[in-house]
Structure 1
Amino acid sequence: MGEKAVIVLHSGDMDKVYSALIIGNGALAMGMEASIYFTFWGLMRLKKGELEKGPLSKMNMMGMGRQMIKKRMDKANVASLERLMSDYKELGGKIIACEMTMEIMGITKEELRTEWVDEWGAVGSYIQEARDANITLFI
């Protein structure tokens, strides 16, 4: 069994989604397995057309802070969230969508980017992933 990184993405904030995907891609690039468990507001980013829509966690300033950060990221040639997700999936990264969150928030599978989701699960799915992980993160 190889090394594994497991990330719980609880937040849907743009910068935190970036962090989860960058760390996940880094783990995969280093030969590790990687899983991201999307739950609560993090799950919202799996909705069709919503990956890039999260607010900035600090200094959002009614969206102006987010726009300023995006402009700086574009200038620095930082990959988009769509690109990072595409890379993550191409490298073999696993996505788990929280079924409990879906039920609580009234989200259906049809509303999500199902091509990204490898597993529909509850806390037991996360625990199964995390029990043999070398790295676990809560973002």
Structure 2
Amino acid sequence: MSDKMVVVCNHADPPHVMPTLIMGASGVSLDYEVILFFCPGGAQALVKGELEKIGTPKGLPNPVELFNTILDQGGKIIFCELALENKDIKPEDLRDERISIKNAPSFLLDADGAMMTLTF
């Protein structure tokens, strides 16, 4: 992987989560180093069962499959640690053990040098 791509999600509703996952899965398919960062506003999307509630929107891929593709192909998904207290979410509530919990400065260090940054 040579190019780094960062996608930030700050809302947990489908119009924000779906493009985050679609762009992330697209990035890993192009062999980019992909980092998704879920701010407190988007954090609920990473809780067990939440992506399933979205279902498969008409004409769009399945969000659970997109999520798994990103992680299975080496992408990183980061959950903002502020959301633990702010949104009353426990680490064990997260849908996958491969999700990292980090603070904003750690995310910024990971994101340093990204050739592309997208925000939803």
By the TM > 0.5 criterion, same fold? yes
Residue of structure 2 aligned with 1:90, choices 72, 91, 95: 72
| Count of aligned pairs between the two proteins | 120
**Residue aligning to 2:116:** 135
- 1:129 is displaced (CA, Å) by 2.1
**Residue aligning to 1:3:** 3
Does the aligned pair in 2 maintain the 1:45–1:53 contact within 8 Å?
A: no
TM-score (structure 1 length as normaliser) = 0.77
Taking the aligned partners of 1:27 and 1:114, their CA distance within structure 2 comes to 20
Query: Which structure 2 residue ranges, 5 or more long, are not aligned?
Result: none
Please state which structure has a larger fraction of its residues in helix. Answer: 1
Taking the aligned partners of 2:68 and 2:94, their CA distance within structure 1 comes to 15
User: Secondary structure of 1:2's partner?
Assistant: coil
User: Secondary structure of 1:12's partner?
Assistant: coil
Partner letter of residue 2 of structure 1? S
**Residue aligning to 2:105:** 124
For 1:68-123, what per-residue CA distance to the aligned partner results, in whole angstroms no more than 9, with x for missing partners? x93xx1xx4x3210111111111111011111111212211111113240x21011
Question: Percent identity at matched positions?
Answer: 32
Report the RMSD for the aligned CA atoms in angstroms: 2.0
Taking the aligned partners of 1:112 and 1:81, their CA distance within structure 2 comes to 15
**Residue aligning to 1:22:** 22
Partner letter of residue 122 of structure 1? N
Query: Which structure 1 residue ranges, 5 or more long, are not aligned?
Result: 55-66
Partner letter of residue 29 of structure 2? A
Q: Any runs of at least 4 consecutive aligned residues in structure 1 with deviations exceeding 2 A, and if so which?
A: none
Taking the aligned partners of 1:114 and 1:23, their CA distance within structure 2 comes to 19
Partner letter of residue 104 of structure 2? V
Partner letter of residue 15 of structure 2? D
TM-score (structure 2 length as normaliser) = 0.89
